[in-house]
Chain A
């Protein structure tokens, strides 16, 4: 039988007896020397992606996160205990460094939307131009707009780092991740500095009312947990 794995920690503190994971299964620890893995038994072949299961995964990780900062696994990780042991043994040093990196920290998320027309309006369309020329001009306007958007996203990322950088241990910045999203950032912040981070971020938001911010946290450090090459999920986003 495989186990469903939620997260990895350095210690084994008590979990609430009432805590249930995927498919209502009891959550338990597997102690593998340097690490403790939080798992539950799973009888099936694949984990159904639905709201209930996603929230169950999040709730188990969150329960551990209240006590310590774990390395959360991505949803859907099913593994046999021997394979888990082998993985943890083979990557022990790397995982220990990761746990060291996130120790005492939380993840804070910032997403920014800017409703602005990024097409370069300075390149006016000539009413006399032929269809082929007009097409090329339109393409050029779009390209220039796209470049302007990317440059602005980079400028905002630097500006945001300037505002909050001293409280941030690590960061993951994704500029222009989607058509409308200008920036998606994850910051690793020490638990004791979260309030200061929020104050600085609030001040920053007030400086740029034209930007729509979606800020959330504290989260377990999902964005800082992976040790392998970036993994593209089945949903095409990472």
Chain B
């Protein structure tokens, strides 16, 4: 997937947040939360913890928190 980003956010330590991860988060923000809706016709099921972890934690907090989320994921791996 090509990146839609013009600029990559940088944390206070000067470290770049992974571009692909941010690209994914922005994609999720658009695909899951915006777009034309036919009332009552969205039928989804949730099973992928990794995606929800990223989606909920980052979208509900902020793009800045993405870095914390990614760090947390790295330490778990």
**A residues near B, CB below 8 A?**
5, 7-8, 45-51, 54-55, 57-59, 71-79, 83-84, 87, 98, 107, 109, 111, 113, 115, 178-181, 198, 201, 205, 212-220, 222-223, 225-228, 231, 233-238
Instruction: Indicate if the CB atoms of A75 and B44 lie closer than 8 Å.
Output: yes
Question: Which residue of chain B has its CB nearest to the CB of A107?
Answer: B30
25 contacts between A and B (CB under 8 A): A48-B44, A50-B51, A71-B36, A72-B34, A77-B38, A79-B41, A84-B38, A98-B36, A109-B30, A111-B63, A113-B9, A113-B63, A115-B64, A179-B62, A181-B64, A212-B64, A216-B23, A217-B6, A219-B30, A222-B34, A226-B35, A228-B39, A234-B44, A235-B60, A238-B34
Instruction: Indicate if the CB atoms of A75 and B64 lie closer than 8 Å.
Output: no
A73 cross-chain contacts in B, Cβ below 8 A: 35-38
Cβ distance A25 to chain B, nearest Cβ, rounded Å: 16
Instruction: Indicate if the CB atoms of B32 and A54 lie closer than 8 Å.
Output: yes
B9 cross-chain contacts in A, Cβ below 8 A: 113, 212-214
Question: Which residue of chain A has its CB nearest to the CB of B61?
Answer: A178
Within 8 A of A (CB), among B26-65: 26-28, 30-39, 41-48, 50-52, 55-56, 59-65
Instruction: Indicate if the CB atoms of A48 and B48 lie closer than 8 Å.
Output: yes
**B residues near A, CB below 8 A?**
1, 4-7, 9-10, 12, 22-24, 26-28, 30-39, 41-48, 50-52, 55-56, 59-65
Task: Count A/B pairs, Cβ under 8 Å.
Answer: 169
Instruction: Indicate if the CB atoms of A75 and B59 lie closer than 8 Å.
Output: no
Cβ distance B28 to chain A, nearest Cβ, rounded Å: 6
Knowing A46-B43, A49-B32, A228-B37, the reply to whether A109 touches B26 (Cβ < 8 A) is yes
Question: Which residue of chain B has its CB nearest to the CB of A71?
Answer: B36
How would you classify the secondary structure of chain B's contact residues: helix, strand, loop or mixed?
mixed
How would you classify the secondary structure of chain A's contact residues: helix, strand, loop or mixed?
mixed
Question: Which residue of chain A has its CB nearest to the CB of B23?
Answer: A216
**Within the assembled complex, what's the spacing in Å between the Cα atoms of A84 and B39?**
11
